[in-house]
Amino acid sequence: MSYMSGVMMGLAFGKGLRHILSGRPAPKATLPAFALARAIPGRRRYYAKALLGNEALAAAVEKALTRLDFVDEARANPVSGSLLIVYHVDEAAMNAVADRLANRVFTVPMDGPTPMEEAAEGLAAIGRHLHGTFCAISRHLKMVTAGLLDLPSLLSIVFAVRGIRKILLAKQLPSGPQLLWWAFSLLRGWRIA
């Protein structure tokens, strides 16, 4: 692993850890029922909530759109909820197709949450549980140490000591400075309790 990839992994880990410890709710990705995302002449991308996790609907929409004479390509992605249409007709005709999709295909109420929504809820519950655990540990540390330490400051001390030790004793330059960076990032002023 290169130094830069280690730094990037550390950044990603640090952002995730900071997000969990900060107490802010996780950003929730929301898709509209059906909306135009980008359009250039001959090519449009839409996003549709009903496509998320629904491979059968994605295949049916692709098949129906490619049957139209003026549609060159149609790709529906059940992972991202996007629908790409490449066509060779005037914009008014394409607007009529988009209106038909919006009013007849993507307005049908879904029976329940999509598999992606269920997975996101499960992960959100795990995140809330972890956040509650970290907050409880931090409050306990603060109480036991009479306000001197909390979990972020304790972690920053651990990272700083390990980083200095790796730099001075083991001569490990990539990971030592990275641990020091984590330590100073934790001490930048945010607290969890």
SS3 of the chain: helix, strand, coil, percent, to 5: 55, 10, 30
At residue 84, the pLDDT reads 94
CA 55/CA 188 separation, integer angstroms: 45
pLDDT of 193 over the 60 cut: no
Q: What is the mean pLDDT of residues 117-121?
A: 71
Amino acid symbol at 101 = L
**Per-residue confidence at 4, pLDDT binned at 50, 70, 90?**
low
Residue-range domains of the chain with CATH: 7-25+116-186 (no CATH), 35-106 (3.30.70.100)
Tell me if the pTM is above 0.95. no
At residue 72, the pLDDT reads 92
CA angle 121, 139, 137 (to 5 degrees): 60
pLDDT of 152 over the 80 cut: yes
First-to-last alpha carbon distance for the chain, in angstroms, is 36
pLDDT digits (tens, 9 = 90+) for 47-57: 988 888 889 99
pLDDT of 129 over the 50 cut: yes
- Report which listed range, 72-76, 86-90, 96-100, 121-125, is most confident: 72-76
**Per-residue confidence at 26, pLDDT binned at 50, 70, 90?**
very low
Tell me the pLDDT of the chain averaged across its residues.
79
What is residue 192's three-state secondary structure? coil
CA 189/CA 193 separation, integer angstroms: 12
**Per-residue confidence at 87, pLDDT binned at 50, 70, 90?**
very high
* CA 43 to each of CA 50, 74, 79, 181, 183: distance values in angstroms, whole numbers, following the listed order: 21, 10, 20, 45, 48
At residue 24, the pLDDT reads 58
pLDDT of 41 over the 70 cut: yes
